[in-house]
Amino acid sequence: MLPLWTSSDIAAATNGTALADFAVSGVAFDSREVGPGDLFVALGGEATDGHRFLDQAFAQGAAGALVSKDTPHPAVRVADTFAALEDLARAARARTDARIIGVTGSVGKTSTKEALFAALDRGAPDRTHRSVKSYNNHTGVPLSLARMPAATRFGVFEMGMNHPGELAHLTTLVRPHVAIVTAIAPAHTEFFPDESAIADAKSEIFRGLEPGGIAIVPYDSPHRDRLIAAARPYAARIVTFGTDKNADVHPIETMTVKTGGTFVTARVGERELSFTVAQPGAHWVSNALAVVAAVDAVGGDLGLAGLALADLGGLPGRGARLLARVRHGEALVIDESYNANPASMAATLAVLSAEPGRHVAVLGEMRELGEGSPAYHAALADPIVAARVETALLVGEQMAPLAQALEGKAKFVHVPTAAAALEVLPDMLAPGDAVLVKGSNGVGLSRIVAALAGGKM
């Protein structure tokens, strides 16, 4: 099996000096995630310095390191380890003939990326690469690129941002052949004057398109024309997806199946394709249409993509489902604990509404919404009522406007922290309940999911 990188490869890519000969099979910059054969990138930071964890990384099996300080360990020394990580990312991108897809959007980035990986991996097993977890920022994107083997056939990379200009840089590293914007919605509005500015920032992804590249745009978005205009100078072709029949990729017919997913017959250009989306919810149908458009754009197998969508399970923190032991029975838990904004809250509450049994919603505050935060939180009252939520457990100070909006409309309990929620939640649950857990990651609702999964309720 060929190594991912040799020390001489790394030195050449980063203009560094190899202090020893070694070869690596992976790359990591978090010492806790280092495994046997990895390259450990010792990044500096305001709070800590990766060089402090070199001994730990090698104790866990690191084969080499990328450093800017003296070390007795096998390493390549460079002037700046972050700049070197980006150089390694550029070298990884330059050495492959893979078809590369970049994914961004206010909602659905990670889900679409994972679904794309599953769809393309069906036809090119062990030759499809994607960014793991939500590694979509200024360090996660170059790390994901640096991990891409030279023989990769398809690469799928998620790109995120919370300030203008971030995607403009990341997309020059990824250099996608296909660039997807999943949706535009209120997210990180603390840093943007309005949704149009968010659309402009997301459309920066198109600037990195390779010659002949394809832009994939949500037809149903009110910002569709703005996105198309932004893509036009960089894209050889623009493909739209959505529920409207005028979209290039759209559903001709949909039908909910017994498992909660959706059977879709879709128009893909001049062709028809039938497939099942395993995950419930209209937002997942939209994600699937974007996936189909992208698979078609890179020449993947649409039939195999459909099979992958039918088999796709929920992701931890983004729709995973589990049965939790409560009292003398079990409750269904829908784990959406990783992130939240107004659009994704409404979408997942709609999913909860279709579940049998009593509905319980554990909702954490939505962060980085700026001056509009009170109104965005209060506006969740109607989706909660529409979802027939028996009890809403609201977590975080920013949920106060929602608590006020729910007065007289629905039963709720408002607590300041996830720890406080853990104390009161057991008394709210009964066998047969459907429990949605969703909030911004910083609220820490993953602790609640872990407690439910561990039978600690």
Task: Report the amino acid identity of residue 133.
Answer: K
**Both structure tokens of 448:** 């609640």
259 annotated as belonging to a binding site for a ligand: no
Assess contact for 278 and 310: CB atoms under 8 A.
yes
344 annotated as belonging to a binding site for a ligand: no
189 annotated as belonging to a binding site for a ligand: no
455 annotated as belonging to a binding site for a ligand: no
Q: Which residues does residue 178 pair with via DSSP β-bridges, in sequence order? A: 101, 214
105 annotated as belonging to a binding site for a ligand: yes
| Residue in 171, 197, 201, 199 with CA at minimum distance from that of residue 184 | 199
438 annotated as belonging to a binding site for a ligand: no
107 annotated as belonging to a binding site for a ligand: yes
Pairing of strands 38-41, 64-67: parallel
Residue 273 phi/psi, 5-degree rounding, is -140, 130
CA angle at residue 366 from 409 to 217, to 5 degrees? Answer: 105
Residue 448 phi/psi, 5-degree rounding, is -70, -45
Query: From the CB of residue 78, how many other CB atoms can be counted at a distance below 10 Å?
Result: 24
Assess contact for 64 and 52: CB atoms under 8 A.
no
| Residue in 189, 113, 123, 197 with CA at minimum distance from that of residue 157 | 113
Report how far Cα 232 is from the mean position of its chain's Cα atoms.
26
d(CA 371, CA 387): 27
DSSP 2-71: --SEEHHHHHHHHT-EESS--EESEEESSGGG--TTEEEE--B-SS-BGGGGHHHHHHTT--EEEESS--
| Residue in 100, 213, 211, 215 with CA at minimum distance from that of residue 158 | 100
Cα-based distances in Å from 290 to 88, 175, 340 = 30, 19, 21
Burial class (CB in 10 A: 0-12, 13-18, 19+), 295: buried
Annotated binding-site members: 105-111
Annotated binding-site members for ATP: 105-111
